[in-house]
Structure 1
Amino acid sequence: MPPRHLPILTTGTLAALIVAGALLDPVGYFSLYGMPGRLLPATRWQAALPLQVPVLLGLTYLVTRTFSHLPRRRRFATVWAGIVLSALVAKFVMTVAASAPLLNLADLAWATSYTVFKAGLYALPPAAVVLAGRPLAEVRDQPPAAPHRWTAALVTVVAAGTGEWSAAHWNTDLPDGVPSLSPSVGALGLAGGLVIFFLALSRALHTFGSRARDRVGTFFAAWLATLWAGAALGLAQVLVLIAVDGFGSPLRVPVSLYLRVSEGVALGAALGPITAITAIAALAALRHAHRVRAATARLITVGIASAVTAGSLAAAGDAATSERPPPTGAVSGELLPLSAVRGENPRIVDSAGRQVLLRGINVNQLVDFYAPRPDVPATVPLTEADFVRMAELGFNVVRLGFSWSKVEPERGRYDQEYLRRLDEAVALAEKHGMYTVLDMHQDGWSNEPTPAGTTCPRGTSEMWGYDGAPDWATITDGAPRCQFTGRDLSPAGNRAFTNFYFDRDGVQTRFVEVWAMLAARYGDEPAIAGFDPLNEPGFAELAPVTSTLLLGKVYDRVLNRIRRVESRRHLFFFEPSIFWSGLGFDAMPRGTFRDDPDLVFSPRLYAESITMDASLGLPAITDLEHGFTLAKRVAGDLPLWSGEWGFWGGLLEIRDRVRRYARAEDAHRIGGAFWVWKQACGDPQNGIGPIGNGLNKIDCAANTALPREPVTAAEVSRAYPRAVPGELTSLRSSVRDLALTGTASRGDCTVDVWVPGAETPETTAVNIADLTAKQAPGGWRVTGCASGNYRLTTR
């Protein structure tokens, strides 16, 4: 085949893949351009969709034509990278058209990184087509002159190392010392990232630029070289992470490699225009050799100075991070207002200056669930007896789920009876010594099931409803309420989430106003630990624009309204998208809300539990212990709190994982809420089986309580410090055996430790005076006055 035919054949192959993806993909997550299997009435972002495919195909044709003269050994790599670049540029153009002026260009450039995950696979068949073409007569490489190569690489590295737009959007979740272009990895990591990227880019410029025949070829060659340099940086990151974290589970390294290299490619695509423009300018200046050499020397000086300055600024920024001095004057024995300490050792503290571990349970008995069978209740009544039994397990927090569909069943009208039930639950929790985290719960967007008579698209099936938004806030544009493998992969649910993120018909605005009403209602209540605005936010149809950037905008609006109306500040528990529940990791939502001092990062730590790998019977992508590590890294200077955790399956597996989870939770000195207190037999998440699941199981046939699973009950009720002065520095616990150390500071000196069981605990302490054990329902409260570096053990 003559090389001149290759652009048409390559572009046609890609077009055929796009059409096949649109026709075969039932939900739009596997097709290259992210659309459901059938076109639906246009929303704001869909109106921009016609831009994406023509740009993609047009750039693919241009890149293939530019490099069709290459021999086979280089043609495949060049065209593959060119198609990936074309997909990134096309997605960027589409998202700009869809999302402006909601988001800035730097955010949108970062958002295109997710496109690489699919584009890299879609590019393989078209790139393979170019192997069939007959190469032209062999042409010797003409390596670009050193000033051209070194200048372009240096200018790009300087721009990357000093550009806030770059540093703020890539690799901000890496530990210190891992090579990156972000100052978040410290001076050593930043210096290593700059050096690796510079060397890789210099080499790639030599490889790709040696056959450039004109300015167009030079431009594309330099841009593609930057993609490969980014891929090399991603590979280096994975190698260092293996050295830091080990190999872990069988899929951890392959998945990490795919993700890090893809993100590196996206970073390279964003920096590529700088390289390309500099390369052309450098070529034009080659005729003035002395001037070029002088300019290069100056650029090297600037580059070294910039790298050193960037590292110094990063180190200075780390050193400048400080903790707010905690208030003092309160005593133990009451629920004190909570706040967050951000910095090197982030934590939740009370107004007496003591670190607080919030450990407890999720309660879903006020959630407005769909009832698969009207004769089988979807919830169990919530009574004071429930709170009595929670307190007997030593819990100090309840994550109380409630439903928007019940709070605001009609637009602008709040159900006062339902709000009264919410008031009662908060008061009962406080009465029995427990804080409340108010959780606006949703699963699958709403409690709407597949309507009768619906014909689901091929590959999907009918589904139950679950819980969440009211009918008037559910805008699906006729998308089918059908599921693909599970409730969260539903065209209707994800269209509703898309419309929510873009605030279509003011739906998001009403959601914000509901939170303003709730914040005003509970704004002076110290027993409210904080607000959790939206459980497991859906990723919608334009992730990560929707699931990370626009989700962050939702948090911006909600937090702003809460802060304006509450009488005293409360914690703001924010979640990543449901990707975290399904994968064990995801990107941190972005927005101005992250500047607030009282934030708590609250992902689901469900690794080895309900993640997709477990559901598919695959080895864990993220094992349980590594899930904590990833969450801590993403949280950065924010306190971490596990809003939900739990395990299902075989009894031996459950017991092993519950024990491991408890050890990891203690090792990281964080709190969390077990899922769930009681699950009714008619709860759609329960599946209408013989047993109502939860910590307190129900015999569905007899409608009677069953004994708790003993290992799980013992671990969720194990000994732990409810509050300790200053900072907790280590914690180990197993049922009644506990060992902790801490460093006291200003504020109340009272240690408050829960120990379960009827027998009086044996205690030993260092630097804790007046140590006493007072019996409480279900166990003991060990208290004393700590000073300096203190230690406590119980058994």
Structure 2
Amino acid sequence: MASRRLPFLTAGVLAAAVVLGALLDPVGFFALYGVPGDLTPRTRWQFAPLAVYLPLLLCGTAWVTHVYAAGGRRGRFGAVWAGTVLVVLVARAATTLVATFPWFGVPDIVWATSYTVPTAVLYALLPAATAVGLPSRRGGALSIRHDSSGADVPGEPRVTRQVGRGGTRGSGVTSARVALIVGLAVIASSPWVSSHWSRDLPDWVPAMAPHAHGKSLPTGLPCGLLVLLLALFSAHRVCMRRARSEAAVFLGGWVATLWAGAAFGAVQTLALVGEDGLGSLLQTPASLYVRVCEGVSLGVMIGWLTGLVTLAFAVSARPFAVRAPRMSARERERFTAFITLCELMLLLVVAGQDGSDTSAPSVAPAREGLSPLRAVRGEHPRIVDAAGRQVLLRGVNVNQLVDFHAGRPGFPATRPLGEDDFRQMAALGFDVVRLGVSWSKIEPAPGRYDPSYLGRIDQAVAWARRNGLYTVIDMHQDGWNAEPTPPGTSCPAGTSPMDGYDGAPEWATVTDGAPRCQFTGRDISPAGDRAFTNFYYDRDGVQSRLVDAWGMLAARFGSDPSVAGFDPLNEPGFGEQAPVTSSLLLGRFYDRVLRRIRTSETRPHLFFAEPSILWSGAGFDAMPRGSFADDPDVVFAPHLYAESITMDASLGLPPVTTIEHGFTLASRTARNLPVWSGEWGYWGPERTVQNKIRRYAVQEDRHLIGGAFWVWKQACGDPQNGTEPIGGGLNKVDCATGEDLPRDPVAVRALSRAYPRAAPGVLTHLSHPGDRGLHLTGVATGPAPLDVWFPGPTRPVVETQGIKAVEIHPVPGGWRLTAHPTGRYALTAG
């Protein structure tokens, strides 16, 4: 009787854990389901967890317990634990499929289960521990005893044939054969299935991506297949030792593939240690976490095939019912046809090969002033102007048009913005400004745009253009909107009241009653997570409104070559279902915005695609997934805040990602897209900040990219400034007197350092020996001139190779060098 109750007990224990997790976890990080607030389902994405996830989770757990109840206590814990992990991941994938249908393919949805792996591993311990607490089940048809005639002999010990080492006795089935068949299926489907995993690794690291970095056959692909097959062979032998039923055989094959995927991720981590070194104290553990979780999700994707292949061999040998005849030839043919059909369905369902456009855009001759910018992919991804010259885009963020919550009495939330600001930026050698604008000001009511605020944006863009600066228009948000925690709110344990910030208008904020309380910072709150999730699912057409607003802005600035491009949403929140929300649905939003922009503008502008806020908070994240990445003018624009505002710093932990490693991860994640750091900056003791700024500058040069420093001016009443006595930014202000303070000389020296504003062809090296020197090399293509900025009052003395017609003329704040390189060239300044 105890064994019959066991499935109900394990499912009940997990159900209790689900309820407690939903009640106790203030932000849903560790809960299997739910966050505080009104959980009444109103939309498909809210209904799917109740209708799909919970039933699959509980019934699946009970089924797994039933399958493994026949085994002894030894081994039962691990079997039930691993089986429950599989159930959680499959239930999560099925729920996502229902909630998002028909937006995504199966591979992307299964890949998204990787974020659920740690939670699944933790909660699966509960039913596993419960299963061990009861005695083994006796009797039943899970093991067979027989005499020489094949008949059951009452009272005699049973003799069990099982799939173990070497496979099922007499069937000729071995783990090696199963692994080989599954491997062949993976090879056949790799252009569709496998390219969804391991997309951000060096070419030689074992991987499943056949098109990494635009190469048709990186060395990592055959290595990855070999590692996966060896891991699958080993895991399959272990998981089949105690399989005593058809269900156990199928489930064991699938679980074996999960273990193989985990081992595959561990091998990838070891390879990355060889590539990157151990790095910071937490760098390797973080990499192991990501790779193992991703490997397990790969196991979920292909493991059902392992289970079917194993089951096909096992059933053909009839090891579980000796008195039953073996499969007939016709039955084997039918079963083989079934397996083949499953493989064909897999190929059809997951079709969606990841392609890359590595061609350079056509360019027109350069004209006076700022010329249109385009993106180039390939071995040297970069941003180019109309003459094909590489443009780094180095400058600063401007937040003086952002609609911040004014929560500090007596202090303004922003500082005035005038043309003199842009003159000063130009005098520091900047060639770009990332201009933050607020949706709440652009569209104060649905479908109504504020002409006065749009006029302020027009004026700022014109000032930038007049002073030789490009503008990146950034739809800025912090913490979703400007609402602070309402007075009298009782925040859940572990969270605290929060200030208001900026972003969406009130009419576009749908929180379903979730509390506006923060966990470790403004970007993690139940209300913010729910608002972002509703936005990603386009609840009440909220997302569509922002898409329309971008269409309006693209029409307004679509013919202006001084507008470098559009940044559709600053630091998008990860929502409640990362990475479904933070990668898949964020990518779908980018798809929609980009389509609207392209149909509204006169000519293509750059599209600056940011990863979610997880990148700013952890130093790494996945690239959002969508068709937008196929557009030739997309730029990957993470905020490289490693060792700055990341969560590890706020928790007092060693850095997960160092400054140096952050650049490496950005380049790998972008693959063949250009990279541009939309924000970067540091806070803390002066010497520490100065050292980090120097290190950042070195890496920015080494990786040949640009970025925008945060921030030009920060008001004392800006909620991000808190109650500090000094308003931050590059241009600080004394909050008591309102007087401007001197700029940090180290920051100015780093930001204003010499650099090529436009380089014909491709830059191959950029560095600053001796802190004030400059050394650059490149390969010129075409007749367009080289344009280099030098700061300071002293005329630069340069040495050149492969460069002629050198001219140096003074400009406000420094000097501009123009010259005409041919072929391979070099320029050095002392």
Normalised to the residue count of structure 1, the TM-score between the two structures is 0.93
Q: CA deviation at 1:404?
A: 0.6
The reply on whether 1:209 has 2:210 as its aligned counterpart is: no
The reply on whether 1:564 has 2:593 as its aligned counterpart is: no
1:258 and 1:788 map into 2 onto residues whose CA distance is: 46
1:676-715, aligned counterparts within 5 Å? 676-715=711-750
Structure 1 residues 49, 317: CA separation in 2 closer, same or farther (over 3 Å shift)? Answer: closer
Q: CA deviation at 1:463?
A: 1.3
Secondary structure in 2 matching 1:518? helix
1:601 and 1:794 map into 2 onto residues whose CA distance is: 31
2:779 and 2:364 map into 1 onto residues whose CA distance is: 16
1:505-524, aligned counterparts within 5 Å? 505-524=540-559
> Is this contact kept in 2: 1:354–1:747, CA < 8 A?
no
Q: CA deviation at 1:290?
A: 13
Partner of 1:313: none
Partner of 2:91: 90
64-73 vs 24-33, which deviates more? 64-73
The reply on whether 1:329 has 2:330 as its aligned counterpart is: no
> Is this contact kept in 2: 1:23–1:38, CA < 8 A?
no
Equivalent pairs, count: 776
Q: CA deviation at 1:210?
A: 2.2
The reply on whether 1:772 has 2:807 as its aligned counterpart is: yes
Partner of 2:222: 191
1:478 and 1:21 map into 2 onto residues whose CA distance is: 18
Runs of 4 or more, structure 1, over 6 Å off, are 136-141, 287-292
> Is this contact kept in 2: 1:24–1:37, CA < 8 A?
no
> Is this contact kept in 2: 1:161–1:181, CA < 8 A?
no
Answer with 1 or 2: which has the greater Rg: 2
The reply on whether 1:658 has 2:685 as its aligned counterpart is: no
> Is this contact kept in 1: 2:357–2:632, CA < 8 A?
no
Structure 1 residues 15, 733: CA separation in 2 closer, same or farther (over 3 Å shift)? Answer: same
Partner of 2:261: 230
- Which among 761, 778, 789 is matched to residue 742 of structure 1? 778
1:126 and 1:649 map into 2 onto residues whose CA distance is: 47
Q: CA deviation at 1:386?
A: 0.6
Matched AA of 1:277: L
Partner of 1:442: 477
> Is this contact kept in 2: 1:160–1:181, CA < 8 A?
no
Secondary structure in 1 matching 2:787? strand
2:453 and 2:195 map into 1 onto residues whose CA distance is: 43
Normalised to the residue count of structure 2, the TM-score between the two structures is 0.90
- Which among 385, 390, 396 is matched to residue 425 of structure 2? 390
Structure 1 residues 49, 239: CA separation in 2 closer, same or farther (over 3 Å shift)? Answer: same
1:513 and 1:188 map into 2 onto residues whose CA distance is: 44
Matched AA of 1:172: R
2:27 and 2:609 map into 1 onto residues whose CA distance is: 27
Identity of aligned residues (%): 57
Structure 1 residues 747, 109: CA separation in 2 closer, same or farther (over 3 Å shift)? Answer: farther
1:194 and 1:497 map into 2 onto residues whose CA distance is: 38
1:46-445, aligned counterparts within 5 Å? 46-50=46-50, 51-134=52-135, 142-143=163-164, 144-145=167-168, 147-163=173-189, 164-185=191-212, 186-286=217-317, 322-324=358-360, 326-330=362-366, 334-445=369-480
Secondary structure in 2 matching 1:168? helix
Partner of 1:602: 637
2:381 and 2:473 map into 1 onto residues whose CA distance is: 22
Q: CA deviation at 1:792?
A: 0.4
Matched AA of 2:555: A
> Is this contact kept in 1: 2:235–2:256, CA < 8 A?
yes
Secondary structure in 2 matching 1:569? coil
Q: CA deviation at 1:99?
A: 1.6
Structure 1 residues 34, 625: CA separation in 2 closer, same or farther (over 3 Å shift)? Answer: farther
Stretches of structure 1 that go unaligned for 5 or more consecutive residues are 307-315
The reply on whether 1:586 has 2:617 as its aligned counterpart is: no
Structure 1 residues 142, 553: CA separation in 2 closer, same or farther (over 3 Å shift)? Answer: closer
Q: CA deviation at 1:68?
A: 2.7
536-545 vs 104-113, which deviates more? 104-113
Q: CA deviation at 1:492?
A: 1.4
1:390 and 1:688 map into 2 onto residues whose CA distance is: 27
Partner of 1:309: none
1:142 and 1:784 map into 2 onto residues whose CA distance is: 74
1:752 and 1:139 map into 2 onto residues whose CA distance is: 84
Structure 1 residues 641, 81: CA separation in 2 closer, same or farther (over 3 Å shift)? Answer: same
Matched AA of 1:258: Y
CA-based RMSD of the aligned residues comes to 2.5
Structure 1 residues 675, 122: CA separation in 2 closer, same or farther (over 3 Å shift)? Answer: same
Q: Deviations over 1:50-72 (max 9, x none)?
A: 12122112111211221133344
Q: Deviations over 1:86-122 (max 9, x none)?
A: 1011112222222212333332222222111211122
Q: CA deviation at 1:8?
A: 4.0
The reply on whether 1:575 has 2:610 as its aligned counterpart is: yes
1:595 and 1:415 map into 2 onto residues whose CA distance is: 33
Q: CA deviation at 1:286?
A: 4.1
484-493 vs 511-520, which deviates more? 484-493
Partner of 2:20: 20
Secondary structure in 1 matching 2:643? coil
Matched AA of 2:87: S
2:180 and 2:328 map into 1 onto residues whose CA distance is: 18
> Is this contact kept in 1: 2:81–2:125, CA < 8 A?
yes
Q: CA deviation at 1:181?
A: 1.8
279-288 vs 662-671, which deviates more? 279-288
1:73 and 1:241 map into 2 onto residues whose CA distance is: 36
> Is this contact kept in 2: 1:326–1:747, CA < 8 A?
no
1:196 and 1:4 map into 2 onto residues whose CA distance is: 41
Q: Deviations over 1:503-524 (max 9, x none)?
A: 1111111111111111111111
Secondary structure in 2 matching 1:399? strand
Stretches of structure 2 that go unaligned for 5 or more consecutive residues are 139-157, 319-325, 345-352
Partner of 1:788: 823
> Is this contact kept in 1: 2:514–2:530, CA < 8 A?
yes
2:523 and 2:638 map into 1 onto residues whose CA distance is: 17
Q: Deviations over 1:8-52 (max 9, x none)?
A: 443333223222211211122221225336635533311112121
1:468-479, aligned counterparts within 5 Å? 468-479=503-514
> Is this contact kept in 2: 1:329–1:747, CA < 8 A?
no
1:200 and 1:55 map into 2 onto residues whose CA distance is: 29
Structure 1 residues 412, 38: CA separation in 2 closer, same or farther (over 3 Å shift)? Answer: closer
Secondary structure in 2 matching 1:673? strand
Structure 1 residues 90, 402: CA separation in 2 closer, same or farther (over 3 Å shift)? Answer: same
The reply on whether 1:725 has 2:760 as its aligned counterpart is: yes
> Is this contact kept in 1: 2:783–2:820, CA < 8 A?
no
Secondary structure in 2 matching 1:183? coil
Q: CA deviation at 1:619?
A: 0.6
218-227 vs 27-36, which deviates more? 27-36
1:37 and 1:429 map into 2 onto residues whose CA distance is: 45
1:568 and 1:764 map into 2 onto residues whose CA distance is: 39
Matched AA of 1:92: A
Secondary structure in 2 matching 1:436? strand
Partner of 1:525: 560
Partner of 2:526: 491
Secondary structure in 2 matching 1:147? coil
Q: CA deviation at 1:775?
A: 1.0
Matched AA of 2:95: M
Q: CA deviation at 1:752?
A: 0.8
398-407 vs 458-467, which deviates more? 458-467
